[in-house]
Structure 1
C-alpha cells in the first residue's frame, strides 16, 4: 500500500464549497471561502480529521467546468481567502483535500479558447480530441458524457500531463494535503501513472484518491499508482440492503471489500455531493444509524458529506440543476442549524469517536457471524483486535449470536452470556449495537 501513514487516522468531512457558501446556483460573488472557517470547529467536534473540499477553482457554473486551475473561483474569493482557510484548518489539525477535475475543462478554458480562435495552428490543439469538418467550421470535440460544455482532454498528449502535474504541485505547495481526482475512471490509468510519481517526488506524503464507480478497483489503483478509489459498490450495498431487508447482498459486498483491502484501502462513504442524501435514499429513516455504524466499523477511509450528520434530505435528479437539492447553502454558522438535526450529529460524534479510538479499523476485515435477510452480525478484526457489529431491520426485537462479545460499546441492546462462545445480543426493532470482542 502506498498511502501516507497519516491516512490511517483520517475521517473526512466533505463540503461542496460553491453550494455551502451560497455561491451556486444563485451565482453571488460574496460567498467567500472564509465562511467555511466558522464551521471548522464544528468539523473538529464532529470527529473529523480532514476537510474534503469540492471544486474551488475558477469555473463557469458548478465547479466541474473549470476555466482556470490556477485561480480560486471569484465567487469563493481570492488566493488570500484560500490561504486563510488552509491556515485555519491546519491550526485545528485538519488536513485539506482538493477536488481536481482533469478529465475535461469548461469551454471557456484558455487552452480551448485558443483552439476556437486559432484553429489547427493553436499551440494547445493537441490538448483535445478534435475533428475538423470540411468547410472551415469550428472543430468537433469529445466531451464528458454528452455535455458540450465539458471538453474532454487528450490524455495521450505529454503537454496535458505536464499541465496536470503543474496544477497538482502548485496547490500542494500552497498547503493542500492531497487530491480527489474527479472522473478518474474516464482517464487512462497510464496517464495517472505518468503524473503521480512526478507529484510524489516533491510531495511523498500527499494522499490521492480517484473517483471510480465501476470496474476492477484494485487493478485501477495498481495501474494508476493512486492511493485509493471511491467505494461505490459498498455505498450501494448499504442502502440497498437496508431498503430491501436483504443483508445477503451486503455480506457478499463486504467479502469483496475484504479483497480490496489486500492491496489498498478504499475511500468509503454513505453520502456525497453526487448522490441522493442518505436520509432520502433510505425508505426508513430509522436505518440511518445502521448505515453510519457500518461506515464507522468496516475497513476504509470514511467521509461524511456535510449535512448528512444533521439528517439533511435531498434527492438528486437527472436534469439540469438536478444536483442543487443535495448541494444546498448552509447557515453562516452552526448555530443557525435546525434543532432537530443535533441528535444525529451527536450519534456521529459517538461512532466517529469509536473509529478514532480504534484506528486499526482502517485496515479491518469483516467476517459474518450471523446472517439472515433481516439480521446481520459481523466481526471486524485486525489481528487480535476485534469488534462485533449487530444489525436488525426487523419490526420486532431479535436475538443475534455474538460469540465472545464482552460488552456493548455503542447502541441500545441487551447482552446475554457476555464473553462466552454462546454470547447473544437482544436488539430492539430496527436496532444496532457495536460490541467489544
Structure 2
C-alpha cells in the first residue's frame, strides 16, 4: 500500500456531465472544446472542503457517457485536448491534489478501433481474438459477440487474450507516466482476477506508488487484493447498510456491516462512500433528511479511503432511474464556479468540513476497526480503534426523534464534535443527531 493513500480524501466528479458536455461524441473533425479548464475554479473548493484528491470519471474518447470507450489514449474532444488535461493536472499538483483516473477495461464501445476492424474484416481481422465472438451466431453484424450485461453497444473484451493484457497494461502505464496517481477500474467485478494481476503488475513495475481500486459490488472483496493484485475495492456493502439502516431504523444491519468491514480492513483499506455517479444521491435516498449527518459521521469515522461525490457535499438531490438516461438526475451539470451554487447547500458543505477535519486530526482512521458499544434499532454507539490500540474515538448515533442517553464509559477529558448546538451533552445525544467523543 502506498503511503500517500493514508491521507487522501477523494472528491469524485463525472467530467462529461459535470462540465455540461454533449450527450454524444463530436462529429469527426470537429474542434475540441476545452471544457477541462472549467474544473480550475473547483480545485480550491475541494481543498477548502478538506479533500486532497480529484477522482475523475472517464476522460477518454467515447461514444456517449464515457464508459463506452473508443480510444483509451485520446482525451475526449468534448472535454478538450491533451494540453488541457496536462494543464488540469498541473493545477492539481500546484495545490497538492492527487488525481485518480477511471478506466473501463471490461468492455469497449462499438467504435473502438480493433472492434471496427472486426466489423470490417470478420474472421480475417487480426483483432478477432480481442473479443468473445461467435462467427456462427446470428446478429445484425453477421456474427454474435459477448457484451456487458445485455448492453449491445458495450462489447466485452476477451481477457484470456495476451494482446489484450498488453494493451491494458500499456494504457495504465501511459497515463501514470503522464502524471496521474492511480486508477479506478470500472466493472472490475466482471474481469478475471488473473487478468488484473498481470496488467496491474506490469504497471507497478515502473510506478510502485500507484493506487488501484476496483469497482466491486459484492462478493469476496479481499480476493481482488490478494489474487487480483489491486489495492482496494469499492465498499458497496457498507454504502447500502448506512442508508438502509437509517431508513428502516434498524442499526443492527449497520452493526453487522461494520463487522464485515473490519474483516476487510484487516487486509486492505476499502474505498468508502455514501454516494457516487451510479447511485441515487444520499439526500434523496434518505427518507428523513435529518439523518444525513449520521450517515456522514459513519463515513468519516470508520476505516477506509473516503470519497465524496461532487454535489453530495451540497445536499444535491437526484434519483437513479432504471431507464435510458436514468443517470441524468445524479449527474447534473455544475455552474461555472462555486459562488454560483444555491444557498441551501452550504450548511451540508460545512458539515463535511467539520467531519473531514475530524478525520484529518486522526489519520490512523485509515485502518481503524470498530467495536460495538450499544446497539438498538434506533441507536448505535461504536468505538473506532487504531490498529495498535493506541488511539480511539467513540461515535454516538441517535436516529430517534427524542434524545437518548448512551450508556458508555469514557475516561479523561474529551472534545465533543456533534450535530447539535455545540453544547457538551456528554453521552446524551438529541434526536436525531450524532456525536463523536475524541480525546481533548
SS of residue in 2 equivalent to 1:315: coil
Structure 2 counterpart of 1:6: 4
Mapping for residues 9-408 of structure 1, pairs under 5 Å = 9-25=7-23, 30=33, 32-133=35-136, 138-382=142-386, 383-404=389-410, 406-408=413-415
SS state of the match for residue 356, structure 1? helix
TM-score (norm 2): 0.95
**1:38 Cα deviation after fit:** 1.1
Q: CA deviation at 1:402?
A: 2.9
1:89-148 CA-partner distances (Å, limit 9, x unpaired): 011000000000000000000010000001111111100000012799622100000000
For 1:307 and 1:134, locate their aligned partners in 2 and report how far apart those are by CA, in whole Å. Answer: 45
**Corresponding residue SS for 2:297:** helix
Shift of residue 18, structure 1, vs aligned partner: 0.3
Distance across 2 between alignment mates of 1:138 and 1:115: 11
1:31–1:245 Cα change, 3 Å? farther
User: 429, 433, 438: which one pairs with 1:431?
Assistant: 433
Match of 1:420 in 2: none
Structure 2 distance, partners of 1:85, 1:415, is 44
Q: Is the 8 A contact 1:414 1:425 kept in 2?
A: no
Q: CA shift at 1:26, angstroms?
A: 7.5
Aligned to 1:36, the other structure's residue is in SS state helix
Q: Are the counterparts in 1 of residues 384 and 392 from structure 2 also a CA contact under 8 Å? A: yes
- Unmatched segments (≥5 aa) in structure 1: 417-423
Aligned equivalents of 1:25 and 1:379: distance in 2? 46
Cα deviation, 1:256-289, whole Å, max 9, x if unaligned, reads: 1111111111000000000000000000111111
* TM-score, normalised via structure 1 length: 0.95
| Contact 2:25/2:63 (8 A) holds in 1 | no
Structure 2 residue matching 1:380: 3-state secondary structure: strand
Cα distance in structure 2, aligned partners of 1:80 and 1:27: 19
The question of whether the paired residues in 2 share the 8 Å contact of 1:275 and 1:326 is answered with yes
Q: Is the 8 A contact 1:407 1:415 kept in 2?
A: no
The secondary structure found in structure 1 opposite 2:300 is helix
Unaligned residue ranges in structure 2 (runs of 5+):
27-31
Q: Is 1:22–1:31's contact at 8 Å kept on the other side of the alignment?
A: no
SS, match of residue 169 in structure 1:
helix
Question: Structure 1: how far apart are the matches of 2:359 and 2:137?
Answer: 61
Q: What whole-Å deviation, never above 9, does each CA across 1:6-52 have from its counterpart, x for those lacking one?
A: 00001000000001100043878646111011100000000001000
Does the 8 Å CA contact 1:248/1:373 hold for their aligned counterparts? yes
- 1:148 is paired with a residue whose SS is strand
Q: Is the 8 A contact 1:231 1:268 kept in 2?
A: yes
8 A contact 2:107–2:157 mirrored in 1:
yes
2-side partners of 1:345 and 1:75: how far apart? 29
**Counterpart-to-counterpart distance in 2, 1:356 and 1:127:** 45
Distance in 2 (CA, whole Å) between partners of 1:295 and 1:25 is: 33
3-state SS in 2 of match to 1:39:
helix
Q: Secondary structure at the match of 1:74?
A: coil
Measure, in 1, the Cα distance between the counterparts of 2:66 and 2:120: 24
> Are 1:414 and 1:427, in contact at CA under 8 Å, matched by a contact in 2?
no
Q: Check whether the contact 1:408–1:433 (CA below 8 A) recurs between aligned residues.
A: no
Distance in 2 between residues matched to 1:96 and 1:388, nearest whole Å: 32
Runs of 4+ in structure 1 deviating by more than 6 angstroms, as ranges, are: 26-29
SS in 1 for 2:406: strand
